Structure 1
Amino acid sequence: MAQAPQHTNYDVIIVGGAIMGASTAWFLTDTPDFDGRVLVIERDPTYSACSTAHTNSCMRQQFSTELNVRISQFAADFVKNIRSYMGGDDRVPELGIRSFGYMYLADTDAFAETLRQNIHLQHAAGAATQLMTPEQIKAAYPFYNVDDIVLGSINTVDEGYWDGAAVFDWWRRQSRERGVEYIENEVVAMTRNPAGTRIESVTLASGEVIACGQIVNATGPRAARTAQMAGIDVPVEPRKRYSWVFKAEQPLDRDLPLTIDPSGVHVRENGGGTYQAGGHSDIDPAVDYDDFVMDHSIWENHVWPILATRIPQFEAIKVTSEWAGHYAMNTFDHNAILGPHTEVANFIFLNGFSGHGLQQSPAMGRGTAEWLTYGAFRSLDLSPFAYERLVTDRPILEKAVI
């Protein structure tokens, strides 16, 4: 049921209350120089269909750009010190990272060379990535079939599972306590000023027209629809990603790293003799915003055969749950789009994370809060992700997209 806002104007309106919107709202409350009124508008406060709810809830530092490495390093620090970051609130749980690592497996010399190039950048940024020969992989993880593998890379420091749901919950809970207003509603229109340089107001599905100082587009896979209300184009579209949790008849005798097979299929430890796999179809079109229908043939014909070949103990497994979610895919360069529009100055992008959103949410929320407060990024320079690069055709090419 739609809720009316308490006021008719807000300093910041955040459209979308999932992980990015929640992070931004909380970091605004944690910024000493910000004292404005904040409204978060979320169309579905159950969050059952959002990307946040369908995530693997893992983080990694194995990226091919230094900025993405440093973004994940802040996420690791935030998660491991969340209570301290949240003011020492003893209600906030102590969290950690189950660092089973990411294992990239290369089956060609070209792919192996990419891993070699990436490790230099990752080491320069302080990551603990290691390259492994097939023999070293087999010795450390005897369950793998490495007959076709040329090289692997893994980092078992601050790479693995973390409790994204707990962080999400506490961002929302504490920001509400600090005065952020969350409502169940939907933005259906935006109005620009006569010069076209600012968004003056938003119209809600329930009819209210709300004035805004700044507006943040945090609508995940729906980013393009939200931007279109402002007369703006952004190259973000929903791409379907499938997940399966399964139980193995013969569980592995040690933790399974989040393994990225050369095919693109990935699988990780889930605990208790269960594992989680993910993949998508070879044809990867944009889908409808509400399309979460499973394609069971992908498991039978693609994912399971690959898993059973790579890890023979996975020939005898039973799927216990499955779901489809959406990547908010930035089709321009698979990287975030952040900060203000080049012409509509108070329309702020927080979009296009292409599957990296959960692990990037602490740094992106902090950076967006800084921009909203100071007009600049202060803690970590996120300006390479500016919308301007789309206008000037300067993509940031991230090679390590899963």
Structure 2
Amino acid sequence: MQADVVVIGGAVMGASVAYWLTVMQPGLDVLVVEQDTTFARASTALSVASIRQQFTTAVNVEISRFGIEFIRDFKARMGLDLGLKEQGYLFLAQTPEGAATLRDVAAMQRAHGAATEVLTPGQIKARFPWLEVGDLSAGSFGATGEGWFDNMGLLSGFRTMAKAQGARFVNDRVTGLRMVSGQVAGVVLERAGEVACRFAVNAAGTRASEVCQMAGLTLAVEPRKRTVFVIDAPNARHPDAPLLVDAGFYLRPEQNHWITATVPQDDCACDPNDFEPDLDLFEQVIWEQLYARAPGFDAVKVVRHWVGHYAYNTLDQNAILGPHPEVPNLLLCNGFSGHGLQQSPAVGRGIAEQILTGGWQTIDLSDLSAARMIEGRAFRELAVV
């Protein structure tokens, strides 16, 4: 078997790469290898499915600007409405230094087309009267271009259109890479055997470092567990609420319920097969802070929960994109640290541009190059939720 491009990893990022490759060069032979076609444990399926422009690095703002327009236009492109709810993100700060940071970052975001507003505590209270603001110094709010959408619809649209444009999807597991003169000559599959290729794309999510190891490379990406809670709060009915990012948790409405989660204090790498929930996080960490911020959450009940994994870049929590300097026909599409779903439209196009033109065309993604990982040159994203 052979293909022009083999994409390793078939969730939303792999499907986006396949979609853009076959849009930009019809007839290109693209093979996407999906280890689990149910996507039951894929980060895509287990995402909170949100998009924002409130990042601290300009390139991430540009990526999200592209992404929100793509999601808004998804029905016209793919015939599928993703149910986008543009209710915004509200980031809260509790110190003067935090307020100054929000103002500085918001200025950068607005310079790149975002609609971020910095609010005083009084303005926050006027807009969201159900919040307690006595301990706050400021908040930043994205009134447009931020919200949440149908994650599986995005994946389905990419896959369906990529297939219609000629991409092939196979259910198999990558067991090795055949290397010749410092290049990937073939991708070895457990059932189908070797697939000869001109390019390979590592879009393997939390298993990205395992794929790099097959080429003799190291990659500072590891799985980190996140337990997400769906809660009922009968005294807190605010369906138009934004996605709230507080010091110790985040929260957003979901129909008649709320979704909330926190970063564990002992956050560290987990086994990629560990999907056991940390149920104590809600009562011991989240609920007290949530009740202090919004007294309407005096009566709450967890109605369900799930566990997802971040493909966490331990160097700087930013994506790792493009050709690996030591294996130039192996393109990396890894380390999104919880931002992969929302970044998939722009990043998939960027990886396709690298393969077809040898450079970044639509958005300059060079700040996220793999070279910085080898050099240990951090390009840090501070707004990791």
Tell me whether 1:269 sits opposite 2:253 in the alignment: yes
Task: Tell me which residue corresponds to 1:18.
Answer: 11
Letter in 1 for 2:156: D
String of CA shifts for 1:201-233, please: whole Å, max 9, x gaps.
121112612211100000111111111111111
**Pick from 267, 279, 283: which aligns with 1:284?**
267
Tell me whether 1:75 sits opposite 2:67 in the alignment: yes
Mapping of 1:2-401 within 5 angstroms?
8-31=1-24, 33=25, 35-86=27-78, 92-95=79-82, 97-193=84-180, 195=181, 197-206=182-191, 208-253=193-238, 255-263=240-248, 265-271=249-255, 273-401=256-384
Tell me by how many angstroms 1:311 deviates. 1.1
Letter in 2 for 1:57: A
Letter in 2 for 1:12: V
Whole-Å separation in 2 of the counterparts to 1:364 and 1:230:
23
Q: Is the 8 A contact 2:238 2:253 kept in 1?
A: no
What TM-score results when the alignment is normalised by the length of structure 2? 0.97
- CA change 1:53–1:254 in 2 (3 A) is closer
Q: Is the 8 A contact 1:280 1:298 kept in 2?
A: no
Tell me by how many angstroms 1:251 deviates. 3.0
Dislocated runs of 4+, deviation >3 Å: 83-86
Secondary structure, aligned partner of 1:290: coil
Whole-Å separation in 2 of the counterparts to 1:233 and 1:35:
33
Whole-Å separation in 1 of the counterparts to 2:118 and 2:323:
39
- CA change 1:256–1:236 in 2 (3 A) is same
String of CA shifts for 1:41-73, please: whole Å, max 9, x gaps.
111000000100111111001111111111101
Secondary structure, aligned partner of 2:327: coil
Q: Is the 8 A contact 1:81 1:95 kept in 2?
A: no
Letter in 1 for 2:18: A
What TM-score results when the alignment is normalised by the length of structure 1? 0.93
Letter in 1 for 2:130: F
Letter in 1 for 2:314: T
Whole-Å separation in 1 of the counterparts to 2:202 and 2:32:
11
Tell me by how many angstroms 1:29 deviates. 1.2
Whole-Å separation in 2 of the counterparts to 1:186 and 1:399:
34
Secondary structure, aligned partner of 2:155: helix
Q: Is the 8 A contact 1:79 1:96 kept in 2?
A: no
Tell me by how many angstroms 1:83 deviates. 3.6
Q: Is the 8 A contact 1:34 1:373 kept in 2?
A: no
Whole-Å separation in 2 of the counterparts to 1:234 and 1:295:
27
Whole-Å separation in 2 of the counterparts to 1:45 and 1:277:
28
Secondary structure, aligned partner of 2:283: helix
Whole-Å separation in 2 of the counterparts to 1:292 and 1:105:
30
- CA change 1:368–1:253 in 2 (3 A) is closer
Q: Is the 8 A contact 1:40 1:182 kept in 2?
A: yes
Letter in 2 for 1:146: V
Q: Is the 8 A contact 1:242 1:323 kept in 2?
A: yes
Whole-Å separation in 2 of the counterparts to 1:222 and 1:400:
24
Task: Tell me which residue corresponds to 1:5.
Answer: none
Moved more, 95-104 or 137-146: 95-104
Secondary structure, aligned partner of 2:126: helix
Whole-Å separation in 2 of the counterparts to 1:348 and 1:29:
17
Secondary structure, aligned partner of 2:45: helix
Secondary structure, aligned partner of 1:242: strand
Long gaps (5+) in structure 1 = 1-7, 87-91
- CA change 1:74–1:207 in 2 (3 A) is closer
- CA change 1:29–1:207 in 2 (3 A) is closer
Tell me by how many angstroms 1:325 deviates. 0.6
Q: Is the 8 A contact 1:218 1:349 kept in 2?
A: yes
String of CA shifts for 1:7-34, please: whole Å, max 9, x gaps.
x111100000001001000111110x45
Moved more, 204-213 or 74-83: 204-213
Whole-Å separation in 2 of the counterparts to 1:255 and 1:51:
26
Number of residues of Structure 1 aligned to a counterpart in Structure 2 = 385
Whole-Å separation in 2 of the counterparts to 1:315 and 1:230:
53
CA RMSD across the alignment: 1.3
Secondary structure, aligned partner of 1:52: coil
Whole-Å separation in 2 of the counterparts to 1:332 and 1:280:
17
Letter in 1 for 2:374: V
